[in-house]
Amino acid sequence: MFKKAKIDLNTYLIADLHLGHKGIIKFSRTEFETLDQHHAAIVERWNSVVCPNDKILILGDLAFTIPELEILHDLKGSKILVMGNHDLNSASRYLKYVDDIGGAVNCTIGDKRLIFTHIPIHPNCMRWDLNIHGHLHGGQILDHTQVDKPRDLRYYCVSWEILNGYPVKLGTVLERIDNENHHPGGINPQEH
């Protein structure tokens, strides 16, 4: 469990690839007519930003079927999988395609305590400064303590839909959050 997951500002992040999931192109990725088109876009977008020596943290919901795991061999970088609710195969099966696997990753960057998960940590259980997660696809966690309910800045979603399929570096995510702290409502999470 996470023997190699040393996270730094240059670690890439993405969640919810949903390889082999026919329903995803009907509901949230309607620009694709076929799974082959969807898979080709994943490979093209991933490899346009990730280099062979880069590390990438996949925050769950990697693949719905075993054959589609083969696509991971076409994706550059060292891949670390945080298991998602649709990652139902054994760790040994996934370890044929990824370099490390587990349920969550904790780290400290500067003075920020971070946790990387697939499903966001419940706000009442949040003991970290920032939870970077997937699972919500196009959604964000809202701050229900505020009247206008802006995005809760303790959470950041890196689902495929939010990132338009392009993995993003942790350093970029932290810059976006810092900018949003200084300019509430003025940052688009899809800018990369």
Percent of the chain scored above 90 by pLDDT? Answer: 65
- Residues of 13-34 as b/e, b for ≥16 C-beta within 10 angstroms? bbbbbbbbbeebbeeebeebee
- Within the chain, strands assigned E span 12-14, 55-59, 78-82, 100-102, 105-109, 112-116, 130-133, 155-157, 168-169
Neighbours of 82 (CB within 10 A): 29
Give the closest residue to 63 by CA, choosing from 119, 14, 17. 17
| 150 has a pLDDT exceeding 90 | no
Angle at 173 between CA 19 and CA 187, to 5 degrees: 105
What is the reported pLDDT for 187? 43
| 190 has a pLDDT exceeding 70 | no
The whole-number average pLDDT for the span 43-54 is: 98
Contact 42, 141 (CB under 8 A): no
Q: What does pLDDT average to over the chain?
A: 88
| 120 has a pLDDT exceeding 90 | yes
| 4 has a pLDDT exceeding 70 | no
What is the reported pLDDT for 23? 85
What is the reported pLDDT for 186? 44
Half-sphere exposure of 125 (CA within 13 A, CB side): 6
What is the reported pLDDT for 17? 94
Domains, in order of start, for the chain: 12-182 (3.60.21.10)
**The tokens of 120 are what?**
């966001």
What is the reported pLDDT for 97? 95
What is the reported pLDDT for 172? 97
Half-sphere exposure of 165 (CA within 13 A, CB side): 19
The whole-number average pLDDT for the span 107-113 is: 93
pTM: 0.89
